[in-house]
Amino acid sequence: MINRRQLWALLALTLMWGVNWPMMKLSLQELSPLYFRATTMLLGALWLFVYVARRGERMWPVRAEWSTIAWLGVPNVLGWHTLSIFGVQELASGRAAILGFTMPIFTVLIGAAFFGERITSRVRVAVVCAGIAIGLLLWHELQSLSGRPVGIAWMLGAAFCWGLGTLMFRRAHFTLSPMVVTVWMLLLGSAVVWLLALTLEPLPRPSTFSVPMWISLLYGVFVNYGIAQLIWFGMARELPPATSAMSVMAIPLVGTLSATFIVGEVPHWQDWVAIGFVMMAIASVLLPSRPTRPAPDPAAQ
């Protein structure tokens, strides 16, 4: 049972990460994707670094940990954050959120394929539900004259990277806290994204940015990479798995609903049905099973 403080924090976290999807879409109307991601990631990571350091945590990895942090940053930061921003550029933000949060299914499948984890009947149900959701969204993109099915490939690649990175992170060993490791992954990853942006995209002109554009950038820095991260790490060890799972399931729904007000996206029936199937898939792999009732002991009768 969670207390009132945890409940309000969980609600705030779900709203912050859900609203972040249309806020990213809003930013991409005036800023190219790599510059957006490089800017918000770097400034957000610096903000987190200062905050965590002032709490007295040890911030500097030992020599052997640098290579592990860099290796973990490839799927967790470069894979997820870079591919997903290209997905948001191509798709409606709510649709991108739905596809991005197929991550738990990828985590289970990758764990079974490469780490010897067992495939259960619930995992099979999750795969079928996720497949139906992907098929619905892909069908709508192909039916639309302005459809961008390549965006679905970007988002599925991002979800795969996030799932792989999650498994790698669980198996890594550090003397630093997970929060500090995450900050360093973001800092190192942002340096690579800055190099890609400077090489591949034209320089932005901040003097032409509108007020909504500045608001969306500040949201990405201080809310998505800042406050939301602090809430999540502060609650990660306190929340039961079922509660965390419910929060994850609600984020695509919040993203789809808020996109109507922020960027004027109107969800189609395929989006709503896909949200339902993705939520069922996440529930199948994340919510704990009911404990089985032990068989009666004949000797006790």
Q: Which residues contact 78 (CB under 8 A, 6 or more apart)?
A: 161, 189, 192, 193
Question: Structural domain of residue 24, as residue ranges?
Answer: 4-286
User: Where are the strands (E) in 64-214, listed by range?
Assistant: none
Residue 301 has what pLDDT? 38
Overall average pLDDT of the 94-120 stretch: 85
Would 190 be classed as within a structural domain?
Answer: yes
Read off the tokens for 256: 């789809």
Would 300 be classed as within a structural domain?
Answer: no
Would 293 be classed as within a structural domain?
Answer: no
Tally of structural domains, the chain: 1
Would 215 be classed as within a structural domain?
Answer: yes
pTM above 0.95, yes or no: no
Q: Is the pLDDT of residue 245 over 80?
A: no
Would 294 be classed as within a structural domain?
Answer: no
At 13-55, the pLDDT tens digits run 889 999 999 999 999 999 999 999 999 999 999 999 999 999 9
The span from the CA of 159 to the CA of 277, in Å, is: 16
Q: Is the pLDDT of residue 76 over 50?
A: yes
Would 295 be classed as within a structural domain?
Answer: no
Neighbours of 177 (CB within 10 A): 15
The span from the CA of 63 to the CA of 52, in Å, is: 21
Q: Is the pLDDT of residue 295 over 80?
A: no
Would 192 be classed as within a structural domain?
Answer: yes
Q: Which residues contact 88 (CB under 8 A, 6 or more apart)?
A: 21, 24, 25, 28, 33, 96
Would 216 be classed as within a structural domain?
Answer: yes
Overall average pLDDT of the 109-113 stretch: 86
At 250-275, the pLDDT tens digits run 888 899 999 999 999 888 888 899 98
Task: Please tell me the least confidently modeled range out of 37-41, 57-61, 104-108, 224-228.
Answer: 104-108
Highest mean pLDDT out of 36-40, 97-101, 120-124, 244-248: 36-40
